[in-house]
Amino acid sequence: MGTWQIDAPVRQDWVVVDSLRDRAVDALTDPVLAEVVDLVAWPDDGAVVVSNAGGTVRLRPGEPDELVEGVSPVANQDPMAFLPYDEECANPSPANAGNAYPYPGERLLSLFADTARAPDLAVVHTPRHFFPEVGGHRGEHGSLDVVQSRAPLLLSGPGVEATGLVDDHARLRDVGPTLAWLAGATPDASTGRLLDTAGVPVDGAVLDGLVGRGARWVLGILWDGAHCGDLLHLASQGELPAIARLLGRGCALLGGAVAEFPSLTLTNHTSILTGVGPGRHGIIGNRFHDRDTGRTVNANDATTWHRSGEWLRPGVATVFEQVSRARPGAATACVNEPVDRGAGYSTMAVIRASGSSDGATSLARALPNPDGSPYLGTREHVADGYYAWATQVDDAGVDQMLTLWQRPSDAPALTWWSHAVTDAGHHAGGPRSPIARDSLRDADRRLGAFLDHLDLIGVADDVVILLTADHGFEGADTTCRGDWDDALWSAGVRFRDEGPGFVYLGKGMER
């Protein structure tokens, strides 16, 4: 447990927090809030307790779930739920009783493992909850549930069997170890896992059942928030020709890759690129409070992306560091990605070197005009500020990629390339909306331009490509409104709510 600023003697800290927690849980699991609170979770003596208006369950890794009362809020834990995709379309943003929550104990315990930064209570919104007052959008993610946690996972090129769609799933934390292994890192012989810098096996597995080594170049691509089911659906309809090109020479998992909890951007970018869960890498949310420093960290922001390395916990190794350790001198590159520590070339390093006091914020003025983007399919979307900015950033991403890959002799052994527009499109309209689908089409045009370039320089058969995202998306219901903060205040709970959904309890935590 961490330390809390409270009136009681130090010896009784945990008692005070436990009684506050009980009061908070009572308030949050009141049926009055069931429309907006899907579930709450907190750590308890090596286990995690999950509760909502319908019941409570205690989860401990390796043991059967222990039902405390009512119905378990995470009764269905099937990572392949809502497949085939028609089932998801027929049951959008389901209520708790009809929803599924893959790996709930393991994922929640990973969050709570960082006792200085983890909240006392994690509160998960219902998929339908619309909360624009505190940053919510028409499309949202962050939940423990399967659809918000489902990112696409495609593999293509040398070493990949052209099996097309595969009825299976992986974890996002497997992505980095797989890329590092493809680029030359060697797993520990006894566990089959890569080791962190402290010699501890990482959480993620090498996906050697899907891909073999041997490609000269390794390329990882992230389309932020790209919806797994809709991406594969549109590709099958001929609407994403570059994705179809990848699939023609590879495979995609129908269940995608399961994100860590919360299914938020920077938490999962970091898990992808380090192979460990949030409780080990330390970036437990886009925003979190650190009891050790007394500060709140807003890690997912234009002013702070270039500083992500500052919040990584000791022992963590990025894919770039894993590859450098195995192959000293091998070139690595990291395009438009905050989690860049150890990369030979990095967009964020350019921002750090610029000395810009507000990170990427003022540098955005130097980006190409979004109206003139050759990859923008529907001009009207630049009226959305986030979409316009993402268009600029992603266009600059293509420029960086073409420069890095100008000649085969220049190409990095490992390249990581992040895209933002898919997140912008899905936030703006929710999955399957016209703007979300257009964002996938725009990203596909950028990918197509790069694949054309690989053909041009004659290396297309020598590059193994992995394409993924950091989370999924579900659509909010604009009539499903409300907030839980008032209920907590009314119950006399002193707290700080970051995220929202990370509730830190106790006097001195209030903002």
Q: Which positions lie near Zn ion, rule CB under 5 A? A: 224-225, 265, 423, 470
Q: Looking at beta carbons only, is 196 or 394 nearer to Zn ion?
A: 394
Of 207 and 222, nearer to Zn ion (C-beta) is 222
SS3 state at 289: strand
Closer CB to Zn ion, 196 or 444, in the complex: 444
Q: Which is nearer to Zn ion, 105 or 472 (CB)?
A: 472
From the DSSP assignment, how many helices (H) and strands (E) are in the chain? Answer: 15, 22
Name the minimum Å distance from CB 507 to Zn ion.
34
Q: Is the CB of residue 340 less than 8 Å from the CB of residue 321?
A: no
Q: Least Å distance between CB 225 and Zn ion?
A: 5
For residue 408, the minimal CB distance to Zn ion (Å) is: 32
Which residue has 């940053």 as its token pair? Answer: 135
Nearer to Zn ion, 226 or 388 (CB): 226
Angle at 440 between CA 404 and CA 138, to 5 degrees: 125
Nearer residue to Zn ion within complex by CB, 88 or 423? 423
223 exposed, middle or buried (CB, 10 Å; 0-12, 13-18, 19+)?
Answer: buried
In whole angstroms, the minimum distance from the beta carbon of 489 to Zn ion comes to 31
How many residues comprise the chain? 511
Query: Cα separation of 43 and 3, whole Å?
Result: 15
Q: Cis omega (within 30 of 0) on the bond before 370?
A: no
Question: Which residue has its beta carbon closest to Zn ion?
Answer: 265
Cβ neighbours of residue 173 closer than 8 Å, sequence gap 6 or more:
202, 203, 204, 260, 271, 272, 275, 276, 277
Q: Provide the minimum distance between the beta carbon of 224 and Zn ion in the complex, in angstroms, as a whole number.
A: 4
Name the minimum Å distance from CB 222 to Zn ion.
9
Of 6 and 172, CB closest to Zn ion: 172
DSSP for 438-481, written as a single string = HHHHHHHHHHHHHHHHHHHTT-GGGEEEEEE-S---EE--TT--
| Residue 40 near residue 48, CB atoms below 8 Å | no
Q: How far is the CB of 113 from Zn ion (least distance, A)?
A: 22
